[in-house]
Each structure stands twice: as structure tokens, then as C-alpha cells.
A and B are shown apart, each in its own frame.
Chain A
Amino acid sequence: MWKSLFTAVSKAPVLQTTDILNQQLRTTFILRRKTPPLLHKQGRKPKTLRSRHYIYELVKDTDVEKQADIDVILTSYVEGLGNAGDKVSVRPTFAYNKLLLPGLAVYASPENVEKYSNLTNDSEKIRYSSKNAFYTVQTLSQMLLSVVMNKENPWTLKPWHIRVCFRKCGYIVPEDAITLPEKQISGPNMELEDKEFFVTVTINNQEKVNVRCRIHHWSTNITERIPHVHNFWEILSEPVIPEQAPILESMPKKRNVIKKRQASI
């Protein structure tokens, strides 16, 4: 009776031993003998190893080895990575901490690939034309573009002027992506000096962003030049076109200006 009882209890799931740690452990060390043992003679017993043959040098510790990138499928738009449904390859730690844990992505297993295949056509999710488009929109909306025009020669503002000004500031913007205000701006007109307007930049024919611009007159003759103003972007100015005033007011200011205002408050 006792025996049968014992077997019954021992077979119960509570008492059964299971492997608690199911995770894979990387405990492989690749070693090399410091003194390789000599070859043994054919047909003879191998020579006994000496203690010097048991001294090893570490070739590789697989625990500290750099792991390969892993593939994940994004479930929503991630700045600098991609849109929902995109399969991206990222560093494992970044994937675990920044994407998988917050639920921004899932592992790219065959089941998940199939499950999230229709995500790319989901119209509810926010979509950007590219992974960097969001950053570009952010940057452009906060900048102040200095439009340097001549003080002597007559000019009328055209998209290529804006493109050149963008390029000088380190932004590559093609001419067809720039939309000027409908009202023509022409000069030289010292009333327009240091006054603001905005142009609309279209990124990849999709995202539209308004960029704050400020006119500055520049003379070839040094004596004619307008004196330098330190941190001119921190000084608030008026719109060139009165109709643009409400939009200019609602647009985000350059970061420094915001900081300065907060400090003063």
C-alpha cells in the first residue's frame, strides 16, 4: 500500500522536477592548449598527457561576443525607424527595451509576418513617407531661415533663392518642394529688413511644413552693410505679409527663443 501511495505522490505534478531555467545559457568558452601534446605513434597507445597540456589559453568567450541584429515588425510609426508593418533590423538590446517592451514592435517570426502583413495598408495608423520624414518636419518647423538678399540690386523672391538659402544653412531642399507665399515679395526694401514670412516645404510630396524665414539685406560694399545683430533670432519681429501673422504666431519658435521666454516668465 505504501509503495503504491508513494508512486502516486511522486508522479503528481507538484513533486516532479522540471527545468526552471528554460533560457539558453551561453557558457561556451573556446580554448587552446598552451602546449599541444605530441603526436602518438601509429598503432600504439596515445601518450599520457602531462600537467602542462592542461594549461589553456582563452580564444573566445561566447558570452561577451557581439550579437547579431534582430528583425522586428513595427506595429506603429517609430521616428527614425519606419512605419507600422515595416520589418526593420535593429540591435537586440534596443529592440527589447525600446520596441518590444513598449509594444511598438513584435518579433519577426513567420506567424507574426503573416499576422501583421495587412498592417502596411491600415489607414488608421499615422503614416509618414519615410523613416526620417518626422524628424525633418520637426527640425524645419523649429528653424529660422535667413534669406540674404542684395541691398543694391532689385530682386523678386523666387523659389531658387529660398533653395540657395536652405543649402547655405545645411538643408537640402529641391526647388519644386518650396511653395512661396502668394503675395510677391520684392526688394531691396529696407522696410522688410528683419521681417518674417513663411514658406511651405513639401517632403517627398507628402508632409507639408511651414518654415519661418527672415529677410536680411546684404551689401557687397562693406561700408554699406547692416551692422551685425547678436543672436538676431531671439528678437521678435513682425510679418512681411499681414495675412500670414496668425499662422506665424501659431508656429513654434526657435528653441532658444522658447527657452528664453520661459526663463523670463
Chain B
Amino acid sequence: MVIKCSVSNVCLESHNLAFEWYWVLVIGACPTFINILNYNMSLFATRCVRPFFFHHYTLETSSFVQIRGYAARKGTRERKRKAKVKSVVEKVGFIPHNQRDKEKFLANRKQRKVDDSWKGDPTDDVYVAKYFKWKVYPFGEAVQCHRETHHPDMYNQPNANLHVSIELDMQGEKKTRFLDNFTRIVATPHRFDHGEERAVIAFCKDPDLQQSAVEAGAQLSGGVELIKQIQNGQVSLQDFNFVVAHPEILPELVALRGLMKRKFPNPKAGTLDVDLATLVKKFMYGINYTAVKDEYEKDFGIIETVIGTLNMDAKHLEENYVALIKDVYTMKPRRTGEFFRRCLLWSPPSQEKLKVDHESYLDIPKKQEVEEDDDKDSKEDRIAL
């Protein structure tokens, strides 16, 4: 007799089948069920039921919902427990409150780039400045305004420093590339006390030139003997901020390359020139400036430096300013668009910042309208027909 049964009722069946010989054909049962079957049979019908296992499981698929009132195999549970991924809670150290949610903080951060082009031009003679475009002062007028605030009647600091802030667009030739911070020195047409301690050492063979370099303000000047003294250790290069040299002494100077490192004179840095006296003057009395890129707003850079004092002649201040912005403009990357965002004049203790013009001082070629290519258009028309 062949019993075709589903495994759920095998146990019941096996009760009734006690003490009789049967062939049990189990079709479409998986090994687990066969195990159960074996178990039941060992209990009740070990001798009478001889199960015949037809091991081709795919012969028939039984369509039933399994209801199991007993525990799954021990092995299954263990396997599943092992398969569970342990979530390890990493301990985060204390983060200062002002550094939490950095992204959020950065998103809410005020932009340093200022664009007031959407604002209108003032129409009245009396107006509230914040509702209109920034007033662009002529350079002389801006200086005059600062002189007024520093007048003896008010702040009483008539020889305060005149600072300039130049805001730059630091975007490089590609949109994702940005200029690096740069530091330069520009020769000033009109000297003023910049308040920095600078020491210059000059190298040249000609004694007259050496003399002129010292007269121009170099702390030390010399030729081959000076190089030997430095090699001996009698003179330390650490005491000097800038090293300038005449090209004729360059072969001998190569011996000091290791000591000087980045200070070694080269034409690109402007430290190697025939006219040593002007070179020394530039490094002694020039305007030293650094363009600093914003840490997060990579396309925003700012130069803050002093271009003179308020008691200087306004014309002289203007010439210093022009020399500065022309030098900064040489750092413009090769791309279209503007390099300068705006230039501001300010003078502490007054907090006032006055926007001054820069475009008229730089000979920037004006935009040329690209002429429409008529030939191309007519060609396209023909294709369309």
C-alpha cells in the first residue's frame, strides 16, 4: 500500500499504523520532514513501518501552509543567532558645542561675497545707504572722508594708517580650481612707515653697487667674501628676511642655495636684478600684502594691507593704491570674468569702509561682442529645408 501524505499529518498516521507493515512513500518532502518521520516511527512503529524514501523532492510540490507547534531545530536557531550582525556602538568623545552640527553652521554662515547689484541707485540727496547700491567714492573723496572722521574735533588721529581691503574672486581657470594664497611685495612710489621690521642682504661683485645697496637701505651687502663669511658661519642668513642679488654673482651664490632654500634669488620672485638699489628699496619700503582665501568659501579671497597714512598727500596715496592694485592684477588667472570684487578703504578706529573704484586704474580690455556668424546660420537654414 502506498500512502501519499503531507508531512504534517504523518505523525498522526503513524499512530494508526501501529503493528502493521506498510511501505510509506513520501513524496515531495524535505529532509527535515523525513527526520520527523523517522522520529515518530522510532517511537510508535519502528518495526511495522518501513519507510521508503523517494529522494526526488522536486517530483511534486505540496501546497500547504506549514503550522509548526514545536521548536525549530537547535542548529537553525544557532545559525540565525550567529548570522545576526552585532551593532557596535562607537563611543564618540566630547565635541565642543560650537563644533557640533558643523555643516548646519556652515550653511547658516553669512556669505562674505557681497552682491548689491540687485539694489537700485539712490534718487534722493538724503537716503539710507543700506537700501541702495554702495556708493563708489572717487579715491580723493574717500581719503577726505576718513580725514574728517580722524579730525582733531572727532577721533583726533590725523596720521592714522589708511588700510585697503581688496576682495578677490579666487576662482582659477576651471570652476573647481582655486588660486592659492599668495604673498607679494610691491614697490611704492611714495614711501611711508609700514611699521614692519625688514632686513635685506644684497650680493654683488661691484663695490659701487654694494655701496648703493647699503645707501638704499640694505643691512648688509657684499660679494664673494660675504658668501665665504656665511659659509663660515660668521654671518647668519636667519637674520635677514630678504635676499637680493645681481645676476653676475649668481654662479658663486649657488654654493649658498642649500642655506637659503626658498629665499635664493630668482627673477620670478623679483629678487634677482641688475638695478640693485631699487630692488633693495622695494623690499625695504614696499607694500607687503597677502591674499588670504576663505576657508570655506574657496572663491573668496581678501587682501588687507596699509597703503599709507592719512596725513600723506591724497595724490601720493592714490599712486600707492594704483601701484598695489596693478601688482595684484598680475596674479589674475587666465579666465574670463573679473578678478577684483571690490576695493574698500578704511582707517581704524573708525569702522567706516568706503568703496573706491578700481576699474578705471586698470586697463582691462572691454568685452567685445561676438559677431554672429552669418554663413553658419544660412547653412543651417539650407539643411532644414
* Chain A contacts to B: CB under 8 angstroms: 129-133, 135-136, 139-140, 148-150, 152-153, 155, 160-161, 164, 167-168, 170-174, 177, 201-204, 218, 220
Contacts and interface: CB of A to CB of B under 8 A. Distances in A.
Interface string B112-126: 000000000011111
A172 B135 contact: yes
B81 to A, nearest CB: 54
B137 to A, nearest CB: 11
B156 interface: yes
Contact of B123 (A131, A139, A161, A201): A131
Contacts of B157: 220
Interface residues of B, number: 23
Interface string B88-127: 0000000000000000000000000000000000111111
Given A153-B153, A218-B154, A171 B148 contact: no
A177 to B, nearest CB: 6
B350 interface: yes
Contacts of B148: 160, 164
A153 B151 CA distance: 10
Contacts of A132: 123-124, 127, 131
Given A160-B148, A164-B148, A171 B126 contact: yes
A177 B155 CA distance: 24
Contacts of B69: none
Contact of A153 (B128, B131, B156, B351): B156
A129 B149 contact: no
B145 A167 contact: yes
A164 B127 contact: no
A161 B149 CA distance: 8
A171 B153 contact: no
A174 B122 CA distance: 13
Top 4 closest pairs, chain A to chain B, by CB: A155-B153, A203-B126, A170-B129, A153-B152
Given A168-B350, A173-B126, A203-B124, 14 more contacts: A130-B123, A131-B123, A133-B124, A150-B152, A152-B156, A153-B152, A153-B153, A161-B153, A164-B145, A167-B352, A171-B129, A172-B126, A172-B135, A201-B126
Nearest to A202: B126
Most chain A CB inside 10 Å of its own CB: which residue of B122, B152, B153, B352:
B153
A111 to B, nearest CB: 30
Indicate the member of B123, B125, B135 with the most A CB atoms within 10 Å: B125
B124 A150 contact: no
A167 B127 CA distance: 10
A24 B182 CA distance: 62
B126 A170 contact: no
A204 B124 contact: yes
- Among B126, B128, B135, B352, which residue has the most Cβ atoms of chain A within 10 A? B126
Contacts of A152: 156
B153 A220 contact: no
11 contacts: A132-B127, A132-B131, A136-B126, A150-B156, A160-B148, A171-B128, A171-B129, A172-B127, A173-B126, A203-B124, A204-B125
B125 A174 contact: yes
Contacts of B352: 167-168
B130 interface: yes
Contacts, number: 75
A171 B352 CA distance: 12
A185 to B, nearest CB: 12
Nearest to A154: B153
Contacts of B351: 168
Contacts of B125: 174, 177, 203-204
B154 A150 contact: yes
Contacts of A170: 128-130
B124 A130 contact: yes
B124 A136 contact: yes
Nearest to B126: A203
A31 to B, nearest CB: 19
Contact of A220 (B122, B129, B130, B155): B155
Nearest to B350: A168
Contacts of B135: 172
Contacts of A148: 154-155
Nearest to A203: B126
Interface in B138-158: 145, 148-149, 152-157
A148 B154 CA distance: 6
A207 to B, nearest CB: 9
B384 to A, nearest CB: 11
B158 to A, nearest CB: 11
Nearest to A137: B126
Nearest to B127: A172
Contact of A161 (B126, B127, B129, B154): B154
Nearest to A80: B131
Contacts of A155: 152-153
A164 B352 CA distance: 10
A177 B125 CA distance: 8
Given A153-B156, A220-B155, A220-B157, A164 B126 contact: no
Given A152-B156, A172-B122, A136 B127 contact: yes
A82 to B, nearest CB: 11
Nearest to A148: B154
A33 to B, nearest CB: 15
B124 A149 contact: no
Contact of B155 (A136, A150, A173): A150
